[in-house]
Structure 1
C-alpha cells in the first residue's frame, strides 16, 4: 500500500509564529505586533482557518473508508449466528418436530433448520470389528471420546455395527448424523477467497450399509441410501437412508446381553489417507441455528388449475398467526381473506382461501377456489403465506410514512435484527379498487446506486434505524394517515454468545403436550457465531483477501491454492513448473506450458501417500483456477529410502552412542516434520556434507572417518562423489542406518 502523507503536520502556534516572522520582510511599515492590533487579530483568524483546513484535508472519516472498501467490493460483515447439530430422544411414538422449533440454551434461543421426522428408537450399541480385534465403543460415544470407525489401519473388510433398542420403520427416511474428529494439526481446506460452490468431493474409499434380517447373523440386506454428505465417512455430515424390509433382532458379541436391531457399515475398498475417527453418531438429529424468528414469509407457485392447494411445515406457521397474499399483474401484493365457510359457499369474485392445520404433521394447508367458487390464482402470479408470533406483532410495524424525503424510523426499541432474511413492504392505496396494496422494498447497503424509482431502504444496525431515499437516490414511501410500513420477514440472533458448549441446548423453548418427555442435547459445541465486523477488521480482511491468490499463475499460486483444497488436509505441496511426469533430465530438459503439483496428505503414517481420490480432488480444485494455456498434472510424492553407513571416531566416553547418531540421522532424513520443521525439501539432493555436518555437531564426535550412502526408490541417482540425487517430486526417509564408533584412543 502507498504511504499516506500527513497533511496536518504543523500546529497552530507554529504557523502563527511563522506568519509573525514574515511581517518585517513583507510589510516593513507594520511595526505594532501586539495583541490589540486589528491586523494581529486577522492574522490569528486566518491562521486558525488554515489549521482547520489542514485538519479536514488530513482526515479520512469512517464514511470515506467504507466507500473505499465498497470500491474493492467489500463491506463489513454482519453478525453471524452459530449452528450446531442437536439430537432428540425419549418419544415413544413417531412424531414431527417442524422446522423453526425453538430450543433453549439458558437465555438463548436456537431454532431447528429443517423438519425432523422423529423415529422412536435409541442408538444403544456401537461395535467395531476388524481382522485382528473387536471392541465395544458405546461408552466412547456417550462420553464424547473419539474412536476409529474401522480401526487405526482402516483395512478392507472392517465393519462398524450400530445397534438400536427397537426396529427402525420401513419406507421412511432416517437420518444418521455423523461427526468426525477435527483435532489434527493440519486444518481442513476451505477453498480460499472468492471460490464458487465446489463439486462434490470424490470419496477416497467405498463403504456399504446393510441391516440385519436374519436371526443367525447371515441375513443382511442392503440399505437404500437417499443422500450421503459424508462422502463414505471421509468427512462430517449426514446419511439419509431407507429400509425396504423389516429388521430382525440379533445377538452380537461382545454386546450379546440381549438382542438388538443392527445396521452394518462395511469398508469395501480402502484408501483413507486418515482413518475416520468418530466423535458422535446419532439419529433423530437436525441442525439448529441461534436465532429467533419474529415473522417469516413462505412463497408458493400456483399451477393455474382449479382447487390449487399448497402445504408448508413450520413451527411459526403452525402455532402463530398467518395471512395470505397474492401478487397481481403489477407486482403488488393483495391480501386475501380466510373463509370461515367452505369454498363452495364463496362466489366467483371472492378472493378467499381455506386454511387447515394438521396436528400430526405440524403442517398448514391452503386451498383456493376454482373460478366459480372463489377466485383461482393465476399461474404467473405468486402466493405467499406470512406467519408471525402474535406476542411480537408490535415488532412488525415500522411506522407511518409522511411522504417526505430521507425518512428515518427508529426500531431499536424492538431489538437488533439480522440483515439476512429481513423483508419489508409498504402499503399504497389503490383508488381504482378502493383497497390497500402492498409493495415489497429491497434492503441495500446505501443509496449510491439507487434510482428515483427504486424501492430501496437501509438498516443501520448500530443505531437501529430504517432509512428511505430522497426521490433522487431511492424512492419515498407513499404518504399515509395510518401505519403502512411493516416487516414480512424478520429474525434476531447472532454473536459469539451463540457458540455454546456441548449439552447446553437441553429443552424446548415453548411447551407442547406431545413433546413432554423428549430430551434435547447438542453432542458437540456450537460454532460459527461471530460479532459484527468492525471497520478496522474489515480493512485487515481486505488486505488478506487481496494477497490471497485466486488465479494460479506462479508456482507459489499453485501451492497456496492446492493447500486450501476444500475438504482435504494437505500437509505438504510442491509446484514444479515446466515439468511433466516422465521427464528424466529436469531441469535441463523442460516441458513448456506444463505444471506438476506434488501433494502429500496429512496422515498418521510415517510416509503419507495421496490416493487417486485425493489427487482428483486437488486437480478439480486447481482446474478452476489455472490458466487455460497450462496443462496441469497432480501427482503423489515419491519416497526415497536413504541408508547411511558411517565410521565415526569419538571420545572414549561416547563409544556407546551409536543409537544417538542413528536417531539424529533419522531426524534429518525424514519426509514430514513433527512440530519443529517441515521435513526434507522436495527434490533436494542428499549430499555427504549434510551427513558429515549432522554427525560432527554431536557432542563427543572427533571426526567422521568413513561415510557412504545408499538409496532405493524411483528415479534416484548416485553420482561419482557418493551424493544422492532425487527426482523433483521425491522425499527421503531413513532406512536402518549403520554407525560404527571407534574410540580416539583405539586408533
Structure 2
C-alpha cells in the first residue's frame, strides 16, 4: 500500500483563482468583467501561480521531516548501483609488443536524438600481449601425453595427427603458452591437411577449453570465429576469447615422471557425439601451429570519473555542507584517491581528509567528512550538545577560507545503464592501435537509488528487526538493507515438521534445519518488455553485499543460502478478431503490453482492478496461472470483437525458446515465479 501524500495546504492553482474572484464583489464592486480576457483576471492568475509555487514548497516540509526521522533511526536511502559488463577492444592489426588499455578508459553507447550516451569506465588495466606458443601436446586420455613441440614449432614443421587413428572421445591436443594470455582475444592458426575425415565441417564434435585457475579445472571457451571446418581446412584460424580467470597449469608428460611443463594451457578436445552427429573416421592432421592476439576483454561499470571538482571555500563554522555537481555518486573508494583535499592559500601543503559513514567515532581533531551518494551532499563535523550540556565538536572543521576540493568521484549508476549487447561501440578517447570496441553481453546489475516511499516502509521494519536476523521477516528486511537493487526477496525456512516448503503440487523440497534460503529478484528496468535470464541473475556484487551484511547479523547456528527463484517462462498464443482491420497494429501492441505486464516477476502481476494500467509488485511466488485469466485481459481491449482461442505454453528450454505442450494452467511451484517469453498475437 502506498503512503498517504500529506499536504499542509491542499489548495490548487484553480482554487486560488476562484477564491480571489469571489472576493472581487466585496472589495471592488465596480469590477464586473470576470472573464479570462480581462487584464485584472490575468493579474489574479499571475499571483495565483506565484502562490501555488509557494504552496508546493510548503507541502514539501513533511518530506523533509520524513528524511529527518529516517536519519534519526539510522535509515538512509540506498544509493544506486552501476551496471556492469565486459567490453572487448579489438586491434587494427596484431602488434609485436604489448598494448596497454589504461584503467578508467571510457566507452559509451551511441548518442541519439532521444537518448543520451551511456558512459562506462574500465575497472582495471588491460594488457594485450603477443603470445609465444611453447608447447604442443597430444593425448588419448588426458593422462599420458606426447610432446609434439619440436616437430611442430620448428622452422620446417612436420605434420601431426592430433587424435588417435580411430578418434575416440577424450582425444585432445594441448597448446601451452609462456605468456599470460588471460583476458586476451587469441587467434590460433591451424594449417590443416585437407582430407576427408567423415565429420560435418559445420558441426564438428570438438570443444575448445582453457585451464581455469580459480576453479582448478578445465572450462569451455567462447568461440568467436572458426574457419577450420573441423580441422580440415588449410591456413585456417580459430578466434577465442580467453577469460580473466585463465591461469598457469602443470602437465606431466607421463604421470609420476616429476617433469612438469608449466604454461598457460588451451586444449581442443574430441567430445561425445550428439544424436545423429557424424563421427571422425580418422584423425585430422595439422601441419603447422601459430598464434597471435587481436584484442582483449576488460570489465567496465556504468560511471564517469569526475576529477578535481572545487566545492567552495570554508567558512570556519561547524556542520558545513557542500554539494557535488554530478549526482548520483557511487560509493567513494579511498584507495582510488576518491576523497577531499583541503588547500591552504599560503605555502602549507594540502591535506587529505578521510571519508567516514558518520561522525559517531570522530572527535574535534578527526579530519573526516561524510558524503551522501544519493544527493551528493558533502558534510563536515557538527557541533552537538552532550548529556552533560557541553558542546562537543564531532569531526574537525576546515580552516577559514581554505579551498575544498573533491579529488575524484564516480558519477553514475541506475537502471539506464542496463544496456543491451553490441551497444557499447564508442571509444571516448583514441588509443593507439585500437580499431573498435564492443560488448558481447548486455550490461546488468544497474539499479536506481531507493525512493523515499520505499525507505519509509523499510523504517518500521528496521526498528522491529533491530539489526538482528532471527525471523524470516528479519532476513527479508535486512536483505533489502544490505544493498540497493533488490526488487523482491522471499525467505524460505524449514517448516515445523521438517519437511520443507511445498511446491504447490503436494510435494515438498526439503530445507535442512538451521538453513535459510533467500530467493532474490533484482530490480529491472520497468520499460524493458522482453526479459531474458541474464536480466534476472543476481549480480556478483549484490550477492557479496547481502551475504556479508547478513553474516554479521545472523545467529551463529544459521546458514544462509542465496538463490534465484525457479523462473517458469510462459508463451501465450492467441487468435483475435478485431472490429476494424486498420486497428490491428494498435490492438497487437496493447495486447502484448498487457500480457508482458501481467506475466512478469517485477512491476507486474495480477491486477485486482482489471484495468492493467498500474504495474503491480510482480507475479506472486507460487501462484498458478490459469487459462481463463487471459481472456478478460484481451477481450477488454478497445477494438477487439472477440477472442477465438488462447493457448498457454510452458517454455521447457529457454536457451532455444522451445515450448512444451499447451496446458490449461501453469504452476511455477513454491519457489517459482512466472515470466513472459515472446507472446504471439494472430488476427483472423
Q: Normalized against structure 1, the TM-score is what?
A: 0.36
Larger radius of gyration: 1
